[in-house]
């Protein structure tokens, strides 16, 4: 097959990789995405993502208007900015408001369901995204980059974008880059379907806002409602007949953070626990908390629950300016506390689209364009990382600040 202009290969069809592919497609640049998941709705992705003003701008820069409307139509209805924090008895602690220039714009994309976002990001570029294709190696050649896939095939392009997430294999093979550091926090994520029973049990303070409950024992729980403006299949049916969008009901995303050294169990054991056992552990650690928060934990969907170790790339550093280009978590993993990891990946996608489109048109040298992209990325990704770390320390104080309050189990 003849492939004119710049040939861009992308490892990873997650948030950043798909947004980049949309941007490149719109700019007329040839792109192919290799994604390890066998389908767009892979396991453990059904959680809510906050979209910042910068993230929304990047989406609008990369995507055709019709795709933006799919995302806006399925976004969360909530328009408030900020969060409310309580102690474990639900006494108010503080309620910071975050600046949001979008204010109460009814079309703003405040937060989205990750699987629904991924469905929308795939719309119209299905022909260039290959699912079930894992990148297992790559080699820089005089003519560009060759990637090796798990099925034994090879593919060659001019550049390879490493959009393969926090566990990036491409980053691992890139000499001189440190791995992402363990922050010593383990997080259990889950989704609690917003059934009438759950709505009756949840304390009214927590019902329709982004809330933190910070225990005097240092454990921390976040609860975030995801209420779809309209059911995703209805929006797809109206805006994009024939587009598959999985049905999804409203839910609370629930996040429970613990200090690893107070967990009393190894990571191996934690990561092997079933969804039901994870929430049993949370219920055990929140004995004595207000029933209006504790009682709904038993309604978490076990199939959508998982535990992760929080990691961070600190400092964020540029890679070399060769044809292997980092994007998203592969370049800058950060804890989800700031709600900005995906937004930073979207900013990367927009900035890299501009850089590579200039190269494709013959206006720029590849090494210069990649250097400029990485210099900008290191600046805003460092800010995002520092914000995430500050919020993490603030909401989950170190165990030393609660010396008596962390019984070892
Ligand atoms: C529970 C939770 C809540 C979060 N909340 C927020 C939030 O509110 N706001 C926010 O901005 N961020 C949030 N984040 C962070 C956000 O999800 C990530 O920062 C974002 O997904 C990064 O995008 P990415 O494209 O770099 O990586 P990913 O979205 O992780 O995509 C990487 C893709 O690469 C694929 N892949 C991996 N290896 C290979 C391989 N070898 N070959 C081919 N494909 C491969 C993976 O299957 C995956 O699809 C949250 C994270 C979690 C876990």
pLDDT tens, residue by residue, 125-168: 999 999 999 999 999 999 899 999 999 999 999 999 999 999 99
232 and 265 assigned to the same domain:
yes
pLDDT score at 133: 98
Q: Is residue 403 part of a domain?
A: no
282 and 318 assigned to the same domain:
no
281 and 306 assigned to the same domain:
yes
292 and 172 assigned to the same domain:
no
Q: Is residue 401 part of a domain?
A: no
* Residue 376's CATH number: 3.50.50.60
170 and 316 assigned to the same domain:
yes
Q: Is residue 86 part of a domain?
A: no
115 and 233 assigned to the same domain:
no
Q: Is residue 99 part of a domain?
A: no
Q: Is residue 408 part of a domain?
A: no
pLDDT score at 152: 98
Total structural domains within the chain = 2
Which residues' Cβ are closer than 6 Å to ligand 1? 11-17, 34-37, 47, 49-50, 134-135, 163-165, 169, 189, 308, 328-330, 336, 339-343, 345
296 and 317 assigned to the same domain:
no
Which residue, 287, 311, 335, sits at the end of a domain? Answer: 311
Q: Is residue 54 part of a domain?
A: yes
Which residue, 278, 311, 344, sits at the end of a domain? Answer: 311
Going from the Cα of 121 to the center of ligand 1, the distance in angstroms, rounded, reads 14
Q: Is residue 85 part of a domain?
A: no
**HEC states along the chain?**
CCCCCCEEEEECCCHHHHHHHHHHHHCCCEEEEEECCCCCCCCCCCCEEECCHHHHHHHHHHCCHHHHHHHHHCCECCCCCCCEEEECCCCEEECCCCCCCCCCCCCCCCEEEHHHHHHHHHCCCHHHEEECCCEEEEEEECCEEEEEECCCCEEEECEEEECCCCCCHHHHCCCCCCCCEEEEEEEEEEEEECCHHHHHHCCHHHHCCCEEEECCCCCEEEEEEECECCCHHHHHHHHCCCCCCCCCCCEEEEEEEEEHHHCCCCHHHHHHCCHHHHHHHHHHHCCCCCHHHHHHHHHCCHHHCEEEEEEECCCCCCCCCCCEEECHHHCCCCCHHHCCHHHHHHHHHHHHHHHHHHHHCCCCCHHHHHHHHHHHHHHHHHHHHHHHHHHHHHHCCCHHHCCCCCCCC
pLDDT score at 399: 64
Q: Is residue 32 part of a domain?
A: yes
To test the pocket of ligand 1, the residue of 45, 169, 326, 336 to mutate (highest count of ligand atoms within 8 Å of its CB) is 336
Looking at the CA of residue 344, tell me the nearest atom of ligand 1.
11
Going from the Cα of 218 to the center of ligand 1, the distance in angstroms, rounded, reads 27
* Residue 300's CATH number: 3.30.9.30
Residue ranges in the chain modelled with pLDDT below 70: 1-4, 43-45, 79-81, 399-409
176 and 219 assigned to the same domain:
no
217 and 122 assigned to the same domain:
no
Going from the Cα of 385 to the center of ligand 1, the distance in angstroms, rounded, reads 15
pLDDT score at 1: 42
Which residue, 282, 311, 340, sits at the end of a domain? Answer: 311
120 and 206 assigned to the same domain:
no
215 and 325 assigned to the same domain:
no
Domain extent, residue 14, equals: 7-78+109-180+312-395
Going from the Cα of 401 to the center of ligand 1, the distance in angstroms, rounded, reads 32
173 and 192 assigned to the same domain:
no
To test the pocket of ligand 1, the residue of 342, 343, 345 to mutate (highest count of ligand atoms within 8 Å of its CB) is 342
């Amino acid at each position: 097959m003849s492939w004119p202009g710049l040939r861009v290969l992308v490892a990873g069809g997650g948030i950043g990789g798909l947004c980049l592919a949309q941007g490149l497609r719109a700019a007329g640049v040839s792109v192919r995405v290799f994604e390890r998941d066998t389908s767009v709705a892979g396991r453990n992705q059904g959680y809510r993502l906050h979209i910042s003003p910068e993230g929304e701008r990047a989406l609008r820069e990369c995507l055709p208007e019709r795709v933006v409307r799919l995302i806006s139509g399925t976004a969360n209805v909530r328009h408030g900015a900020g969060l409310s924090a309580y102690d474990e008895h639900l006494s108010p602690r503080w309620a910071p408001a975050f600046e949001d220039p979008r204010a109460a714009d009814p079309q703003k994309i405040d937060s989205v369901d990750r699987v629904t976002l991924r469905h929308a990001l795939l719309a119209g570029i299905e022909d260039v995204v290959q699912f079930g294709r894992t990148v297992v190696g790559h080699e820089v050649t005089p003519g560009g980059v060759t990637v090796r896939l798990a099925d034994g095939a090879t593919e060659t392009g001019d550049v390879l974008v490493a959009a393969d997430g926090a566990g990036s294999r491409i980053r691992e093979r890139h000499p001189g880059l440190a791995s992402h550091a363990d922050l010593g926090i383990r997080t259990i994520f889950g989704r609690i379907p917003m059934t009438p029973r759950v709505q009756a049990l949840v304390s009214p303070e927590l019902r329709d806002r982004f809330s933190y409950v910070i225990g005097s024992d240092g454990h921390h729980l976040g609860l975030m409602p995801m209420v779809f403006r309209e059911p995703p299949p209805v929006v797809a049916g109206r805006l994009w007949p024939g587009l598959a969008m999985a049905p999804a009901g409203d839910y609370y995303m629930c996040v429970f953070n613990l200090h690893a050294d107070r967990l009393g169990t190894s990571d191996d054991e934690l990561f092997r626990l079933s969804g039901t056992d994870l929430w049993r552990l949370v219920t055990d650690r929140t004995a004595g908390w207000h029933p209006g928060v504790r009682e709904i934990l038993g309604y978490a969907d076990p199939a959508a629950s998982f535990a992760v170790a929080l990691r961070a790339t600190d400092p964020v550093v540029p890679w070399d300016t060769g044809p292997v280009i980092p994007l998203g978590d592969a370049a800058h993993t950060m804890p989800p506390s700031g709600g900005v990891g995906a937004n930073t990946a979207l900013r990367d996608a927009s900035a890299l689209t501009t850089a590579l489109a200039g190269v494709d048109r013959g206006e720029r040298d590849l090494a210069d364009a990649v250097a400029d992209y990485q210099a900008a990325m290191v600046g805003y990704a460092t800010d995002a990382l520092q914000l995430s770390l500050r919020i993490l320390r603030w909401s989950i104080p170190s165990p030393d600040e609660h010396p008596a309050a962390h019984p070892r189990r």
